[in-house]
Structure 1
């Protein structure tokens, strides 16, 4: 998961100017891809103006109306004044639809305003249709792009249903990065909610034949949303959906297959080739002038949107093929240096003039609800700390490291999760945090930093293997063998855990 920001290439506004996003227009086809118009107002050569930019459709994941942006960086929206967060429960019986032509301020352009009008506690909330699409139905690039493909899901997977079990058999065209839990949770939710799925699957034909993404309210039962709103004379304008709360998955078990899911057999045999990436610092530049993107993409963290679930989905990944993982390097290993110019595309896959892709996701969506929630909050606070340069977080299952009893929860079946976070401090130090799912166990959070020039990353798998062998205890005598190279701290999960963890990291 990447901690870089995304900026729009060919940003026309003055450097350092606060630029307001006035409007997001409807998508349309341009040559080989789907794009959309967006309208920003700000200073160009010292004078205020409104500019119409044509951007790739999936840039939608990073845009919030009436928010401000600086230097084209779309992953750091600046909150406007006089807004508030509110949680509402939307009853479908109190949802209407309103459509009218809208004149973009400061221009001669007309766009169509498509809005759901919601009645709640005697107030009216005006929720843009495109925000329902972005924030609820299709919150990632894969689903946004599939909107425009007829009968799209069978192009990527087949489905098998049993009581309380869904089997998804993915093919290679489905990018393996979308096999992460946060993507699978939402995909299962979408597949299992018949009315939402029907609305989603009908959008492609509506777009092809009517050049529109108009759709009915996709819910037949109440839903709960956290909204960023602004008061108006007639009610509240919804600027963006901050979170969808209490989502129900309707099943407890998911089994998946994918060509990338293999059982690795580690080997000390020398690798034939290694690629040494040479990355440039600074933001990724989203270039809308290219045809599209490659099948590979980088993930960029934002805090724009979260989805929280009532249920925990047990995901079983079938690994039937054995693959040898070569770890050794010798004189015959070919070393290739790959330079990364940071140019990326947020368009759909394909075309002749293509760049590596980008996917925007929220750090919160890395984990489903549960006892890891407090740890997640700490990482979010660290992201905002002045002394912190960046935060990377990864989630995994201990069963991928070892198969002792502690690698599973008490039922002996469910893999125990862990989170590894890397905190890069502005003073040049890298700190690693290891958090293991406790599920009734008393397992402290481990914090490590290097005492020499070695990277803390090389110790993570060894430490995870150690806690499996020690049945969930960071025993002092067991950790002694790393004390020559690492400074090691343990933080217990007691009252004040969150502040203790923050204080320990920021004091390093």
Structure 2
């Protein structure tokens, strides 16, 4: 078997033509996933190639690519302008630099964002996107999630006991990502607060400021890089190895729903899969038009980026469940054929669907299948619609913010939800109601009203952030702060299992 090829389906150059990567743009949203514009020049013309954002794992400025193969990048340096050197920038605070940039051979313009490090009268310039690609997000999972705000909590929570890190993954985290290299990287981020702040600020700035930026604050920064020398110093083109990463844990304990103790059984399999590959071989076609990945994942090992650790912790996968493993295939076994056409994507599974609110326009149809306390509260809101003086009742069902254990239900897997009801009265006044999935917890319902009639979303955001920060209690500090701004907030205490409809009606009438 030869070297696996990862060929771009939309490669614009003729077969055998070598094209140099001259520019990597910033990520942008297209059809529910993150993409980038890349520019290649073959010596005659510059052409734009739109790619999935996570493809940057294989992309390096100034390298030449042939036939769209992401793994074919080679350096052609006839003038010996580049070299590989070891660099130590530990303890140096860099300066952020942003400049307008015209892309060679085109009329397109972009922004150059770099960090400039000064050491021993030399300037070391590192593109921000290279720090993200090679240092903070060296694998597909990190690349696909680092652009989202507080994304880790969508997949796992963690606890620190002495020098033990416990990672509690939920079912959204793919079993194919249960890798030691991933666990080590998570542990490095979590055990180094400055690095964690960098990772978190990337998602925040990307979501709210629409910029790829962060405050660089790594105390220990040693690496091997391919650089281009200039009069002032060096431009870092590619970080090849990050050196001496320090993990401040001796042990990592991993929990995941798939980690079960299997016992072999003589019973028949309920189903089995047979792969049918029409296009066998070492070629994979990277299709930028795919919306995202399905459940099937193919792992590819490579040495494009290397991370070196001072000391690695022990990793223990905790098997908390039991299951029977059936091994026999007989006439009772259903056989499914999976057709693999060799098309691949580095985009996240299912595209962008994390952290999205559920907009409800017709609660009678949309949420008739809800059960438990949220359905009970929806029934309460249905009764409010029948009240005199009420023009309409609209609902959003959203996930509470991430950041604490209370962000998830007691099972540690499913995200906790809340209902935000917006009640429009006939006099045009707006009243908001917040009800959180409680699981029996003594947590009151909040009723909110603004002197300006309209209630901005930031009011709900602040209240829910305070709730999470206080680990499941409404934050008096947040409430008092909002009251100073003219926001009226009343609490309705739950009477036993159900919310007291009469108390809610009274609060609304006197507001």
CA distance in 2 between counterparts of 1:343 and 1:107 reads 31
What CA deviation, in whole Å up to 9, does each residue of 1:155-207 have, x standing for no partner? Answer: 11111111101111110001122221011100111111111111211222211
Distance 1:52 1:183, change over 3 A: same
User: CA separation of 1:266/1:146 partners in 2, compared to 1, >3 Å: closer, same or farther?
Assistant: same
Match of 1:66 in 2: 62
Residue 114 of structure 1 is matched in structure 2 by 113
Between the aligned partners of 2:163 and 2:16, the Cα distance in structure 1 is 53
Runs of 4+ off more than 6 Å: none
Residues 98, 150 of structure 1: CA spacing in aligned structure 2 closer, same or farther, 3 A cutoff?
A: closer
Q: How far apart, in 1, do the equivalents of 2:175 and 2:62 lie?
A: 35
**1:240 is the counterpart of 2:227:** no
The answer on 1:270 being equivalent to 2:264 is no
The alpha-carbon deviation at position 274 of structure 1 amounts to 2.1
Partner of 1:88: 87
SS of equivalent residue, structure 1 residue 75: helix
Quote the residue 1:213 is aligned against: 212
CA–CA distance in 1 between the matches of 2:208 and 2:333?
54
Is the alpha carbon distance of 1:303 and 1:79 closer, same or farther for their aligned partners in structure 2, counting shifts above 3 Å? farther
Q: Deviations over 1:103-135 (max 9, x none)?
A: 111001111111122234543222111000111
- Rate the CA distance shift 1:88–1:352 in 2: closer, same or farther, 3 A: closer
8 Å CA contact 1:178, 1:184 repeated in 2 = no
| Pair 1:223 & 2:239 matched | no
Give 1:34-433 correspondences, 5 Å limit.
Answer: 34-42=34-42, 48-81=44-77, 82=80, 83-93=82-92, 95-219=94-218, 221-279=219-277, 280=279, 281-351=281-351
Deviation of the 1:319 alpha carbon? 0.5
SS at match of 1:242: strand
Evaluate the alpha carbon distance shift between residue 337 and residue 282 of structure 1 in structure 2; reply closer, same or farther with a 3 A threshold: same
Unpaired runs of at least 5, structure 2: 354-511
Distance apart, 1:102 and its partner CA: 1.1
Q: 2 CA distance for matches of 1:332 and 1:209?
A: 54
Cα 1:91–1:310 shift into 2, 3 Å: closer
- Provide the rounded CA distance (Å) in 2 between the counterparts of 1:171 and 1:349: 15
Contact 1:25 1:111 in 2 (8 A): yes
Cα shift readout 1:307-349 (whole Å, capped 9, x = no counterpart): 1111121111110211111222334433333221011122222
Cα distance change of structure 1 residues 155 and 3 upon mapping to structure 2, 3 Å threshold: farther
Superposed displacement of residue 4, structure 1: 2.7
Offset of 1:269 from its aligned partner? 3.1
Q: Structure 2 CA distance, aligned partners of 1:38 and 1:340?
A: 28
Contact 1:5 1:300 in 2 (8 A): no
CA distance in 2, matches of 1:39, 1:61: 16
- Structure 2: distance between partners of 1:123 and 1:207: 31
User: Structure 2 vs 1, CA of residues 186 and 33 (structure 1 numbering), >3 Å: closer, same or farther?
Assistant: same
SS at match of 2:181: helix
Are residues 162 and 95 of structure 1, via their aligned partners in 2, closer, same or farther at CA, if it must alter by over 3 Å? Answer: same
Aligned counterparts, 1:419-498, within 5 A = none
Is the contact between residue 225 and residue 244 of structure 1 (CA under 8 Å) also seen in structure 2? yes
Q: Which residue of 2 aligns with 1:437?
A: none
Q: 1-side partners of 2:195 and 2:210: how far apart?
A: 20
CA separation of 1:338 and 1:294: change in aligned 2, threshold 3 A? closer
For the residue of structure 1 that corresponds to 2:143, the secondary structure is helix
CA distance in 1, matches of 2:334, 2:292: 31
Q: Distance in 2 between matches of 1:338 and 1:33?
A: 25
Task: Please tell me whether Structure 1 or Structure 2 has the larger radius of gyration of its CA atoms.
Answer: 2
Secondary structure (helix, strand or coil) at the match of 1:85 reads strand
Distance in 2 of aligned mates of 1:347 and 1:56: 6
140-149 or 299-308: bigger deviation: 140-149
Matched residue count: 347
User: In structure 2, do the counterparts of structure 1 residues 352 and 234 end up closer, same or farther at CA, with 3 Å as the change threshold?
Assistant: closer
Q: Deviations over 1:376-412 (max 9, x none)?
A: xxxxxxxxxxxxxxxxxxxxxxxxxxxxxxxxxxxxx
Q: Aligned pair in 2 of structure 1 residues 236, 76: CA closer, same or farther (>3 Å)?
A: same
1:298 Cα deviation from its structure 2 partner: 1.3
TM-score normalised per structure 2: 0.65
Q: For residues 326 and 283 of structure 1, do their structure 2 counterparts lie closer, same or farther at Cα, with a shift above 3 Å needed?
A: same
3-state SS of 2:185 partner: helix
Contact 1:99 1:112 in 2 (8 A): yes
Cα offset, 1:351, TM superposition = 4.9
| Matched residue, 1:30 | 30
Measured on the aligned residues, the alpha-carbon RMSD in Å equals: 2.0
Q: Deviations over 1:4-56 (max 9, x none)?
A: 3211112110101111000101111123111111101117xxxx210112211
Equivalence map 1:4-19=2 (5 Å): 4-19=4-19
CA distance in 1, matches of 2:134, 2:16: 29
Could you tell me how far apart the structure 2 residues matched to 1:200 and 1:222 are?
Answer: 16
Unaligned runs of 5+ in 1: 354-508
How does the TM-score come out when normalised to structure 1?
Answer: 0.65
Q: Secondary structure at the match of 2:7?
A: strand
Aligned residue in 1 for 2:372: none
